[in-house]
Amino acid sequence: MLTTKQKCIKNEKGSIVTPQGFQVSGLHTGVKRKRNDLGMIYSVQPANAAAVYTTNAIQAAPLLVTKTSIAKEGKLQAVIVNSGNANACTGDQGMHDALDMQKMVADKWKLKNHYVAVASTGIIGLHMDMDKIGSGIAKLQPGTRATDAASFNESILTTDLQSKSTCYETIIDGKKITMAGSAKGSGMIEPNMATMLGFITTDIAIDQQVLQETLQEITEKTFNCITVDGDTSTNDMVLVMANGMAENNPLTKAHPDWDAFVAMLESTCEDMAKMIAKDGEGATKLIEVEVHGATDSEDARKVAKSVVGSSLVKTAVFGSDANWGRIIAAIGYSGATIDVHKIDAAIGHITLLHQSQPVAFSESEASAYLEQEHIKIDIDLHMGDGTGKAWGCDLTYDYVRINASYRS
């Protein structure tokens, strides 16, 4: 019998338009000096929609518009997204502009207004240049070519160094189900999303409430387990559109292939989360922390996020310094239940601590391991069966340089 993971296959050539019925577009309007800055996702039929949002109490106008829209019917048919301007902290004018973006798309494609989600990312506190945005919306021509997907992927980026996309397939009710994601994010990622946008398309038929609940659960284990710099922003979200065009029987948690769907959604979200962490502003290394033996999974994630979020751990990794004291300190202030006498810790294959006692290791071997682009830190608390992961990046000189001149 196939395992759940075997049922979920990565499509290395897939993109945001691989699921049936989805089209995208991206172009340059001039809101940014270069690179595409306006994008759109379109589903040929209304899709059940689910979303999770930043936990910042100050939330930008586009996010509020999207929240309200999804709340009406739980459906979307289009997403309009711009980069370069967050349309955050822009008062009544900002809300008016976000609603205007929604209406422009709805009018052009003859959709209900609330079938259009709005997303923005970029500089906070500037009013939108609606002449450029309006002109750009008029020129958008969604399609299914690889070049359309690439143009959309670029349109949502800000300080990102690269686009982030992934695609998976599985079989449910004898039908091929496809899911794909496109994301942006490289700074202000902590701890419950932040300056990031994640868009997921899938042709599966699934109940909207079930989709919402599952996305929230998986977000806790993926997007909410990444950190770059400890800041939480005002705008951002992960949004899923499921248009049902695969024509499977509507999926519920009682379906025999439910686990295959969960694996596909979790793999999609985890891929994007790790790509965001790896593309941290100025980052040179992806740090993955895996915790075992916690009292429960929540405590495991607390420890993992505490370690990967520690500025001192980040700088040690950047400097290829196996300073385990910084790791044990981050475990101690994580807020998780621990026994200070039972902790094991390792980087890669090199054991640093056993039962909270230092283990002799080769500094040169550890330094050589820390020169790699993907650094793994393993921790065992020996308290229970809880497990969890978190992802982040090193903290470099370039992080300061990039953020010191972000608006210039």
Closest CA to 113 of 129, 100, 124, 102: 102
Residue type (1 letter), 232: T
Residue 318 near residue 395 (C-beta atoms within 8 A): yes
Pairing of strands 226-227, 386-393: parallel
| Cα 108 to Cα 196: distance, rounded to the nearest angstrom | 27
d(CA 36, CA 157): 8
Active site residue 195: yes
User: Nearest CA to 377 among 319, 328, 311?
Assistant: 328
Catalytic residue among 159, 195, 202, 219: 195
Q: Residue 326 is encoded by which pair of tokens?
A: 């910084």
Q: Give me the active site residues, please.
A: 195
